[in-house]
Chains A and B, each alone.
Chain A
């Protein structure tokens, strides 16, 4: 096998990932246009850490998650999971690897089957993948439920009897039961109340400490991302525009978009008056993104070169890379 790309520190390495969705232009018949949902994105995540992926809606966060898991076909690029290039492995092997990569979704209402009791929802895939011997099945599910703060008597109840927070616990339990190494969490908190969000964040941290999970945490809530992540990736219109260590990015955001994003977060203190950078206009359509730097239509610092050449990610300090012409592209 040609998986000598191994770098044991990283559980996931994504290289030049592209995902284009075709949209047929009705006027032109055959010729096709594409939504470039993810356009040449690269990053890697160290084992046992959390990477936060932020950006505005439609910028491609969910698509990144889904293509990593092969829920969507990749248009181009490489995903190396646990040392194995997923585009090289056989379907059979891929199926065997499935339990190791799990996803938790935003909406705990629609992602749980209404006709199955909780125990079965959590256990269905456990049986299918034979995670534990038959005799231990029930005690195993009960242990997972306990880990996730679900009481044993919920085993035979149905999802509609639970609140949003508890349903999210059930979806976490379902993922965790497969004994995964890597979990993609796609806006797992946004349907929940503030007081419930804290319960779920603590649960996720707990589980990570105990079982060493690696998370890709997708969210548009920057305070939560700052709290939970070790590293951060900022996306805009399908591209990664700034990436690196959490502390470096929050203390020294370099890309004009990241600066605006961080300054736009309302602070829970009436005495703090933010020096807010208010961006003009809307996010352009990903079907027809601006030439050069995709952010230039809203960027307060846009220069002529920004329309001509797309800036590429360059490292400006250790573990902190930015794609912007304000900084030397040499």
Chain B
């Protein structure tokens, strides 16, 4: 039958390139070579500090990410998970990162922690500058592993979506918390560590900290485990908390508790939070600055007001409109963005949103759009706008 052969415009199907065995071997040989080079770099010992000390562009930032590229060298090809991402995390602010599943939010955050799952995953380009509590600025992409260990968990702490996977099921909560204290505080003794752990459990609003201290992870509810994770993150006075979907696995009433707690904690430690979520409501409520990612790139960023009140990129606009809410009239259809994200192995060399965009013009298929500046804090990458931030006229759009 004819429809079965017409495979060309299989819109939306993962058009996985079917590789021959020989091609696959060639790819994996090449990958092995590349990976080896990066691994050697990271495993160096006794590296001179000068090699990875740097300066912040703006001293009020805790983190500055510039043109970050993080790739995975898989057997079916290179997945460009993070493909030229730049943004800052200012001191004392919450930066919200939103975007479709697989757009590179988690990989960006793992890059900051030097926790990209290796050896296939590697930071291949760009810079991540981090201002540590000792006043020095480090270039994380160049830091050797042994140095990074000190910073991770002490200055930067991470909270994951599913706390069960980051807590060890066979050890009691107390044991796991004490270990963190002992690792990061040189003068601590088992007794002082226990005191500190219980103190932290109290700080995250756990009513019966001694009991939780003596419990196994599986004996706690999801919300409780997330509190424990936050308590653990706090042990070492972090200046930056990276929270990757911290409330996605939780019910709304528990989510409300945890968000409130995160806000309190941020004030208390006067730190910053990078908050990854796909829930626009959570972003609107928590974030000062919003970064919208799409297929490994930032397509728009701005203050929370700019993003919610005057979104510029068609993807951001579509996201806002596609949420059910009070703006939808009775009986009205939801706006929906058609299609889906392109295959990460075969990214186009033009606007990644082209296949789904209902405002696409001819130019959009001829190259990747530059970032347009709408205000000192608001940027978007889209051909609909002139360099001065004004929208192109209808005729101009037609012509293009």
Residues on A facing B (Cβ under 8 Å): 56-57, 151-157, 161-166, 193-199, 201-202, 205, 220, 222-224, 226-228, 260-261, 263-272, 274, 276, 278-279, 281-283
Q: Which one, B6-14, B62-70, B134-142, is touching chain A?
A: B6-14
Residue on A nearest B330 in the bound complex, by CB: A247
Q: Which one, B146-154, B248-256, B362-370, B382-390, is touching chain A?
A: B248-256
* CA gap between A262 and B106 in the complex, in Å: 30
Number of A-B contacts (CB under 8 A): 140
In the complex, whether B246 has a CB less than 8 A from a CB of chain A is: no
A166 and B324 within 8 A (CB): no
A166 and B12 within 8 A (CB): yes
- A152 / chain B contacts, CB cutoff of 8 Å: 3-4
Residue on A nearest B224 in the bound complex, by CB: A282
A194 and B280 within 8 A (CB): yes
- Of A194, A196, A202, A220, the most chain B CB neighbours within 10 A belong to A194
- Of A164, A197, A274, the most chain B CB neighbours within 10 A belong to A197
B323 and A194 within 8 A (CB): yes
B14 and A162 within 8 A (CB): yes
A157 and B13 within 8 A (CB): yes
A57 and B280 within 8 A (CB): no
Residue on A nearest B251 in the bound complex, by CB: A56
16 further contact pairs, Cβ within 8 A, besides A165-B340, A266-B279:
A152-B3, A153-B6, A153-B7, A155-B4, A163-B14, A164-B101, A193-B100, A194-B322, A197-B322, A198-B323, A198-B324, A205-B333, A261-B253, A270-B284, A270-B305, A278-B256
B251 touches which one: A162, A205, A220, A268 (CB < 8 A)? A220
Interface 1/0 per residue, B237-258 and A, CB below 8 Å: 0000000000000011111110
5 closest residue pairs by CB, A with B: A266-B281, A227-B324, A198-B322, A198-B336, A56-B251
Interface 1/0 per residue, B264-303 and A, CB below 8 Å: 0000000000000011111111000000000000000000
Q: Could you show 22 A-B contacts with beta carbons less than 8 Å apart? A: A151-B10, A153-B6, A153-B7, A155-B4, A161-B16, A166-B13, A194-B100, A195-B319, A198-B323, A198-B324, A198-B334, A198-B335, A202-B336, A220-B252, A227-B324, A266-B259, A267-B284, A267-B325, A268-B283, A282-B221, A282-B223, A282-B254
Q: A56-B251, A163-B340, A193-B101 are in contact. Are A268 and B308 (CB under 8 A)?
A: yes
* CA gap between A267 and B7 in the complex, in Å: 42
In the complex, whether B320 has a CB less than 8 A from a CB of chain A is: yes
- A272 / chain B contacts, CB cutoff of 8 Å: 284
- A153 / chain B contacts, CB cutoff of 8 Å: 3-4, 6-7, 10
- B320 / chain A contacts, CB cutoff of 8 Å: 268
A283 touches which one: B221, B259, B278 (CB < 8 A)? B221
In the complex, whether B338 has a CB less than 8 A from a CB of chain A is: yes
- B319 / chain A contacts, CB cutoff of 8 Å: 194-195
A264 and B252 within 8 A (CB): yes
A270 and B336 within 8 A (CB): no
The smallest beta-carbon distance between A189 and chain B, in angstroms, is: 10
- B308 / chain A contacts, CB cutoff of 8 Å: 268-270
- B3 / chain A contacts, CB cutoff of 8 Å: 152-153, 155
The smallest beta-carbon distance between A49 and chain B, in angstroms, is: 14
- B282 / chain A contacts, CB cutoff of 8 Å: 266
* CA gap between A282 and B254 in the complex, in Å: 8
A195 and B284 within 8 A (CB): no
A278 and B252 within 8 A (CB): no
* CA gap between A196 and B305 in the complex, in Å: 25
A264 and B333 within 8 A (CB): no
In the complex, whether B158 has a CB less than 8 A from a CB of chain A is: no
Residues on B facing A (Cβ under 8 Å): 3-4, 6-7, 10-14, 16, 100-101, 207, 221-224, 251-257, 259-260, 278-285, 304-305, 308-309, 315, 318-320, 322-325, 328, 333-338, 340-341
- B7 / chain A contacts, CB cutoff of 8 Å: 153
- B223 / chain A contacts, CB cutoff of 8 Å: 282
B281 and A201 within 8 A (CB): no
- B304 / chain A contacts, CB cutoff of 8 Å: 270
B4 and A268 within 8 A (CB): no
- A278 / chain B contacts, CB cutoff of 8 Å: 253, 256-257, 260
A269 and B324 within 8 A (CB): no
Residue on A nearest B205 in the bound complex, by CB: A280
Q: A163-B14, A198-B334 are in contact. Are A268 and B322 (CB under 8 A)?
A: no
The smallest beta-carbon distance between A287 and chain B, in angstroms, is: 14
Q: A163-B12, A267-B284 are in contact. Are A201 and B260 (CB under 8 A)?
A: no
B253 and A56 within 8 A (CB): yes
* CA gap between A325 and B334 in the complex, in Å: 39
* CA gap between A262 and B7 in the complex, in Å: 47
- A195 / chain B contacts, CB cutoff of 8 Å: 100, 315, 318-319, 322, 336-337
- A270 / chain B contacts, CB cutoff of 8 Å: 284-285, 304-305, 308-309
Residue on A nearest B328 in the bound complex, by CB: A227
A201 and B334 within 8 A (CB): yes
Residue on A nearest B256 in the bound complex, by CB: A264
B12 and A223 within 8 A (CB): no
B280 and A268 within 8 A (CB): yes
- A271 / chain B contacts, CB cutoff of 8 Å: 305
* CA gap between A260 and B252 in the complex, in Å: 9
Residue on A nearest B315 in the bound complex, by CB: A195
Q: A199-B338, A282-B224 are in contact. Are A268 and B333 (CB under 8 A)?
A: no
The smallest beta-carbon distance between A50 and chain B, in angstroms, is: 13
- B333 / chain A contacts, CB cutoff of 8 Å: 202, 205
* CA gap between A268 and B257 in the complex, in Å: 18
The smallest beta-carbon distance between A187 and chain B, in angstroms, is: 12
Residue on B nearest A225 in the bound complex, by CB: B324
* CA gap between A13 and B207 in the complex, in Å: 43
Residue on A nearest B11 in the bound complex, by CB: A151
